[in-house]
Amino acid sequence: MLETVIYIAGALIFFGLVMASVALHEVGHLLPAKLFNVKTTQYFVGFGRTLWSRRKGETEYGIKAIPLGGYVRMIGMYPPSKERPNQVRATRTGIFQSVADQARAAEWEEIRPEDDGRLLFQKKWWQKLIIMAGGPMMNVLLAFAILLGVTATFGVYRETLTVSRVDECIRPLDAPAAACSPNDPKTPAFQAGLRTGDQIVSFNGVPIESWGQLQQAIRANLDHQAKIIVLRDGQQVELKPVNTALNGVRDEWDPSKIIQQGFLGVTPEADRERGGPVTVLNDMWELTQRTGYLLLQFPVKVFNVARDLVTGKPRDLYGPMSIVGASRVAGEIASTDQVPVADKLAALALTLGNVNLFLALFNLVPLLPMDGGHIAGALYEAVKRALARLFRRPDPGHVDTARMLPVAWAVGIVVALSGAVLIIADIFDPIRLFG
């Protein structure tokens, strides 16, 4: 009973912290909008029916019923039509133009003459850039602060070059643990004579400084000869040369994939190490690269989740999850008795930091309606105007982002459907860390 209470409390607290991160994301848009005197009428956390709101000045602040996001409403997102500046109707036809004009007309119904100069599209490109980038940058700052807090105080577990376990036989990656049979092939590590406690210092004549470097060297070696030197009882020992084996290993960039690469058969020790801002920035950069790679495959990953849910295939531990799934994982971490309390708190904080970095990167995707789409529009406007000045051409004016609304709707539908699929999967077939 107590474990269930802790699980629910951990999940709810984590969910609340993620929503606080979303609220601060929107503050990242709101503050520069106010600074640059953009007319801002609403700041809301959530969507749907309004649960609570209060007006301060021209802006209504509030909370809505569906806690899955937030928004800041800034007036004047779309510039007037070049064909009809008074916004009655465009002279051209076509679905893209029609959608753009309808959105433009709907927005301009509430624009008043006194709003001139305060509309978002009227602001300088760099001001629009700061306003739209403010949200993701808020999440980046939150991620940095949270990760630095954990790294500098408690520390982060990192794999070292000290061997904690030597596998005796080669088995498929996901095979259940079992004793080796006489017919099982021996691992290269076992054949070379590696022992628990050995510290690997050289691989094929190349000094090794980190587990990541060693792992890449082993994988790239495929099934070729490997000469290994270890530090054992204070002395360097050259082990018997062996060939690394080809075996299934998790892809470095996409752990969901199993690929055939070089395999040695050792497990490293993990030590808790503290670090400062540079260490955290390096960790964030590495995570950014991996997340960017996985974002390119996001639609395929979501499709795989849906397919596995329908066919009953076990959930991919490394697949995407929604905020519901992340909260369930947080609840599982909070309630388990397999992890010390201090490690639980650090793991939950690291998860929250990683979620904030993901929110930033996801919102920086250069497609409307994401913040990155508006950022791309501001940069495009800057380039167009700079080229016009360079070649002494007339000012091309503001970029008409309204014409990209069909794309924005398509992307919005994909994001909404993806979110629904992941939430359903996280409810009925959640990712479990502890069995």
Catalytic residues: 26
Q: How far is CA 52 from the centre of its chain?
A: 30
Angle at 342 between CA 338 and CA 348, to 5 degrees: 85
C-alpha–C-alpha distance, residues 234 and 198, integer Å: 10
Tokens of 97: 């133009």
Q: How far is CA 287 from the centre of its chain?
A: 8
User: How many CB atoms lie under 10 A from the CB of residue 113?
Assistant: 5
| Residue 270 one-letter amino acid | A
C-alpha–C-alpha distance, residues 29 and 45, integer Å: 13
Of 338, 282, 347, 291, the closest CA to residue 318 belongs to 291
The residue with tokens 């250069």 is 366
Q: How many Cα atoms sit within 13 Å of 357 on the Cβ side?
A: 23
| Residue 106 one-letter amino acid | A
Q: Is the Cα dihedral 338, 148, 284, 45 positive or negative? A: positive
C-alpha–C-alpha distance, residues 109 and 101, integer Å: 12
Query: Which H helix or E strand runs over 327?
Result: helix 323-335
Indicate the SS3 state at residue 80: coil
Strand residue runs (E) in 145-212: 156-166, 199-203, 206-207
Query: Roughly what angle, to the nearest 10 degrees, separates helices 341-363 and 125-153?
Result: 160
C-alpha–C-alpha distance, residues 318 and 320, integer Å: 7
Tokens of 325: 């799934």
The residue with tokens 């269930």 is 4
Q: Is the Cα dihedral 333, 210, 262, 162 positive or negative? A: negative
Phi then psi for residue 72, to 5 deg, are -120, 125
